[in-house]
Structure formats: structure tokens, C-alpha cells
Amino acid sequence: MRDVRHLNFDWKYSPKFRQEFVDSGFDDSKFEVVQIPHANTELPYNNFDEKRYQFESCYRKKLYVESELEGKPAILHFEGVMTYAKVFLNGYQVMEHKGGYTPFKADVSRYLKYGGENQLVVYVDSSERKEIPPFGYVVDYLTYGGIYREVWLEFTEQVIVENCHVRTRNVLSAEKLLDLDLYLTNFAQRTSTVNLVFSVLKEDQPVLTFQEVVDLTEDSYQQFNIQRAISGVELWDTENPNLYMLDVKINNHGHLIDQSSFRFGFRQVEFKNDGFFLNAQL
């Protein structure tokens, strides 16, 4: 199962950047201690020059990783860095990302020191850059700068649920259809067979449970389409916003190795010449 380490507290921050800041042995004792989310500078409510937040900065954080975690995929997540980021771990660049509004992540297990201390460094450029949307055109709002959303390190098993796109079909019929696009990540990149257990829940009560056996290839990311009939569920509408949870579990040789949940509802939306229809009602 997943072991999540939140990394939001006690970062060292500098409102400038030099290449030597990347070195693990750099002395950052004079850096400011900050918490995430963080803005690279504080500004008044109005009447300020927007160039004041458009500069390069640096964030540094030490983290300890236990030796028993060696061998597990280690995924470093950033929910949002404004606007361009380069991430270094123990002196190695592990990823970069352009765009402040989208999250990004990378498997950093090969860069970690297990049973010891690690140095995480983030270079941030908060300037408006033409190759990063929405810049290069007319922008009528301010973007500011810094690591402004959560950061965490996640240790997983070799096969995990990456995402699931839940589509509901035939919703006006007594027997409806669940149409699932399930995305799995296979970090090991080895062929194997895993058992998937799906549960549809309404307020933690099971409505439907079924299983599927899938064969994994050597590809890192794999997609499976799974369909199953379902009945006895309630439609979603504005007066009765009935929602369900799809719980997906991966079992390998009888052991639960990953689990993820996705919220969804049963509803049909149509635009016609005579108006907007929700579940066939105008």
C-alpha cells in the first residue's frame, strides 16, 4: 500500500538563486524558514509593480528516508509551482515543469539515499515567459510566484492505480452500464497477472462488487477498458445530487497492493434545439 510523506513544513527559502544552492553540502543556515504554500514575496493589495514577484528563487529541504523503503517506487509530487520549476535531489536534476496551474511528479527512487538524509532543492522562476501559457498573449490577471500548493513524497508498490475515467451509459434504462477506462502504472515493467476488485458504494454501502483479471505487459503505463451492467442505482440531478464511489483494489497473489477511489454519478445531459435536458427533463 502507499506510504505518503507530506513535505509542507520547514523549507529553507532564498529570494535569489545561484547554482551552488543545488549542492547537498551548501550551508543554507541563513535562508529564511518557510511553510508551504508559500508566496515568493508579500505584496500590498494594490498599487504595486508586477515585476516585484517575477524573479528566480530557491527552496531547500532535508528529508530522511528509512532503509527498509529501498526497492519501492518513490514518487515526488508537486501540486503547483508558479511558474517554472527545476527539481534537484542530492545534486541531481530529477525533473522540470513549465506552468503554474498543473501538478507534476516523478519517480525519484534511484536518486534517494536510504537510511540517511537527502537534500531536496527547487529552483523557481516566477517570470512571465512566452513559452509558458498563458503568457505571450494578453493576460489580465496576476500570477505571483513560489511553491504555492502542497508537496509530498509517496512510496508505492510496483503496480498501482494511476487513474480511472468513469462513464455511465444507458442511465435512463433499468439496467445501466458502467464503462471504465482504468489506467495502471507498472513500475517494474515486467509481465504479470493481477486481480482487480471493483466496488460501487453509496454512503459506504456496497451496491455492486465484481472482479477482473488483467495481464500486464512490460509497458510502464497501461489502459484497460472494463464494462459492467448495474441496476438499482439513483440518478443525479440538481434536486437530488446522488453520488457514488468506485473503489478499485489491486490484488497480487492474494495480497492487497494498491487501492484508489473515484466519485461519480449517473446522469444524462443533452443539448437540443428546444433547450437543455437533464435525464430527459427540460
pLDDT of residue 44: 86
DSSP 55: S
Angle, CA 243 vertex, CA 275 and CA 261 arms, to 5°: 130
Could you say which architecture CATH assigns to the domain 159-278?
Sandwich (2.60)
Report which of 75, 59, 66 is spatially closest to residue 118, judged by C-alpha positions.
Answer: 66
pLDDT attached to residue 1: 86
- CA dist 63 and 114 (Å) reads 10
Q: What average pLDDT does this structure show over 142-156?
A: 96
- DSSP 3-state percent helix, strand, coil across the chain (nearest 5): 5, 55, 40
pLDDT for the residue numbered 133? 85
| Cα–Cα dist 19/13, whole Å | 14
Does the pLDDT of residue 254 top 90, yes or no? no
The reply to whether CATH 3.40.1190.20 applies to domain 3-155 is no
Residue ranges of domains in the chain: 3-155, 159-278
Confidence class for position 270, pLDDT limits 50, 70, 90? very high
Determine the pLDDT at residue 275: 93
Q: Is the pLDDT of residue 119 over 90?
A: yes
Residues 168-202: tens digit of each pLDDT: 999 999 999 999 999 999 999 999 999 999 999 99
% the chain with pLDDT above 70: 100
